[in-house]
Structure 1
């Protein structure tokens, strides 16, 4: 009974607080889709749509790149794919638009308080500690390892074909490949995923998200929408909820951090004479440092490793799967890539390429960029404003009053959806064929002059997951 009273009080107080917030902004006057539900707004239809992005693509076409959608409990959410707005939110005023409580705590429940969960000054400290492991020079040292892993995979596929296998799961094989590569490069740890050695952590990765959060229940969607109003110490207890999704992530976190702890002990004994800058060495050194600016505590170190294990392999595997899918649909582009690679091998006399060689493969790189554009790993980012602010727009929109507006006033606490997938398909940015596969767009230098500076690679938002 007491729990029910507390929840009711939270709902009532959050409702009063939201009405106060809403009165101070202009988001409520924007046009947007009708709400199918008073309590859930548009959130259930977004989470249950057949193909990710289909609803958002349609809404951008109807209402413009900036619009409002219905949040839970009668709230309004600002949704934008506008380049100028995204530049302001993600870069100009980046740390003033942090991840909302739901995203931050959900990340912590899965991976701990690593770089994907922390924000502000703590996030800056984590970045400073980890930067040495991600310099261009350090990343180049991983290339031979990645090449060996790729050669192992291609040999596996050749073996499958030789024994008569006509159909196999490319996505599953690529996930095994990237997991092995990250284990070797970052932690000097053998997952044995390509050989299917039955590693417990490798097995834990399989279908981790599809078994847990693919179709969330209505109660969980409503519950998470209240997390912004729950004190952090109480919110941290959500990790221990007994439902399926929370139990599955809790198991992964416990397992991954347990393995990470064993690896750290092994690394510490050999670190005194080493100057290695691999991820684990950098993290262990920071853990031993007396300089608070360069120090991560044990919990933070374990969380970083869990984050890299989870976020680093599935993203790459999924992107590569989509690339192969599009090349199978466009055999002429597949032929161009093959010819470009063969020409480079003939010109250099090398079978295994250097980083410079790979950068010289212009059409191959264009196909990679086009894949990232059409199939972003994260279709939407969730942010909130930590102050009253004014967000500028490059494309003015017409509001419900019939007025044309070129900026949106947002109050502190305003929920914002960064629409990455719709931005990646805006005709004003990518051309009239933005919904179609066309790698040649990235060979057109004149296209860059028309774009607002956003992503670190080809002006794409696909991997712009944190306000770096």
Structure 2
């Protein structure tokens, strides 16, 4: 099925209904006309997704404009490398995100979470109050990745002052959206012209404010990453005692730098690559986690029955003191169900893109009508653009059933439908595409899950969340974000101490 002139609808900030219409009206592989007659496919069929992300992942790669744009913004990290370089980086990063290492992160997460809880308590001691929880979730997500990921404190989580890094990160999303067409059609052709100094000279000459805003944002974020790296490097060079203290040098980057120094020359990452990992991790972990936490609190505010049931589970599980162990957190079945269901119905990232590097035959789970005939194998020419729809894969009624659009944590408390098992969705988490799958799946998904559970435990146990009188809508964008009046990014909810 050919859908003409609808690329703008796919990328619209209010595209939720349009993406749902695609699922309701068409099977799992849909042809979309791009600009200048480009070939595009919108895909949520499970078997096709497995081929794209797992079986033939080297044929279906990130487009050049994504790789080069990400490299310009963050350096040569996981999100901006391909092939063997990407595999080498992932090999040395994988142990950092192991369960064994994450267990050691739990006290750090609780320390940050308790500072957030104290800040909210101070603001509602005199009674219920409307609070913009988006900014607090973003500040908390930054501090969590700062402390546990980088061994660096960004925010005391006491005053109302927002760290400069958060302002830059939020501005970057808006700026990237404004520059999409330039990044898509110009970046691949100019990113390698001349030296970096020459390209910077050209950028400075071009009279385009948005471009200059992007330049300044990248400078702030990259400068932050370099400063942190230099501090860590100096500490490690002076011996383990220098990195000990409250986090004892167990943050992800400290461990990565130690492992990297002991790696073989073939596996070792360069200094620029480590800085790029730091820069990428800092940005990606902050916005995706804050989006997921904000969405969960928004949904809980709409469902006081679920909120109360979750509160009772948390209170029943807590032993003496405030902190739960890693195993305690994993045993909270209803909390896990709430997280899974939120990430199923409301993934922070709606889709990712790929480009076909060579002619290939794409297989489908069910027949697709092509030129009037049903087929399960579709010839796809090289250079075809691919939209891997995380949102539509998670909301596929053929997989999840007729109640697919209902936020229903209880679906996770009993065996999943056979249709979910049979679909063999290639995601790495809970039969979902939220963290995608294959060799480019989100390396930090367990880290993110742990963050969410710790923060929700501390907040839901202590506070009751309810809707304010302001209408909240969610913009899709590169990462889903709540808004008031259509353009002001915030999540105003009424917060009060729970009985």
User: Which of 425, 436, 448 is 2:395 aligned to?
Assistant: 425
Which stretch shifts more, 263-272 or 359-368?
A: 263-272
The residue that corresponds to 2:228 in the other structure is: 260
SS of equivalent residue, structure 2 residue 80: coil
Partner of 2:469: none
Q: Partner residue of 2:456?
A: none
Query: Cα distance, 1:211 vs. partner?
Result: 3.3
Q: Which residue of 2 aligns with 1:307?
A: 280
Q: Against the structure 1 CA distance between its residues 210 and 250, is the aligned structure 2 distance closer, same or farther, given a 3 Å change threshold?
A: closer
Unaligned runs of 5+ in 1: 1-30, 36-41
CA separation in 2, counterparts of 1:201 and 1:357? 35
Which of 359, 363, 372 is equivalent to 1:388?
359
> Match for residue 94 of structure 2?
131
The more displaced of 132-141 and 234-243 is 234-243
Does structure 1 residue 241 correspond to structure 2 residue 200? no
Distance 1:201 1:286 in 2: 31
TM-score computed with the length of structure 1 as normaliser: 0.83
Shift of 1:420: 0.7
Matched pairs, number: 424
Distance 1:207 1:82 in 2: 33
TM-score normalised to the size of structure 2?
0.78
Q: State the alpha-carbon separation in 2 of the partners of residues 131 and 206 from structure 1.
A: 25
Structure having the larger proportion of residues in strand: 2
- What is the CA RMSD across the aligned residues, in angstroms? 2.6
Q: Deviation string for 1:129-188 (max 9, x for gaps)?
A: 212211111111010110111111111111101255711110110111111121111222
**Residue from 457, 461, 465 that aligns with 2:429:** 457
Alignment of 1:76-225 (within 5 A): 76-163=39-126, 166-192=129-155, 194-196=157-159, 201-205=164-168, 207-214=170-177, 216=178, 220-221=180-181, 224-225=184-185
Whether the 8 Å CA contact 1:115–1:127 is kept in 2: the answer is yes
- Shift in Å at residue 204 of structure 1? 4.0
Select 1:408's aligned residue among 360, 369, 378: 378
Corresponding residue number in structure 1 for 2:12: 48
- Deviation, 1:205, is 3.5
CA distance in 2, matches of 1:109, 1:235: 14
Deviations 1:263-311 (A, max 9, x none): 2333332346789553222343366457233311111111111111101
The counterpart of 1:65, out of the listed 22, 28, 33, is 28
Q: Tell me by how many angstroms 1:377 deviates.
A: 1.6
Distance change >3 Å, CA 94–CA 162, structure 1 → 2: same
Q: CA deviation at 1:457?
A: 1.4
- The 1:82/1:248 distance shift into structure 2, 3 A limit, reads farther
Aligned partners of 1:208 and 1:248 also within 8 Å: no
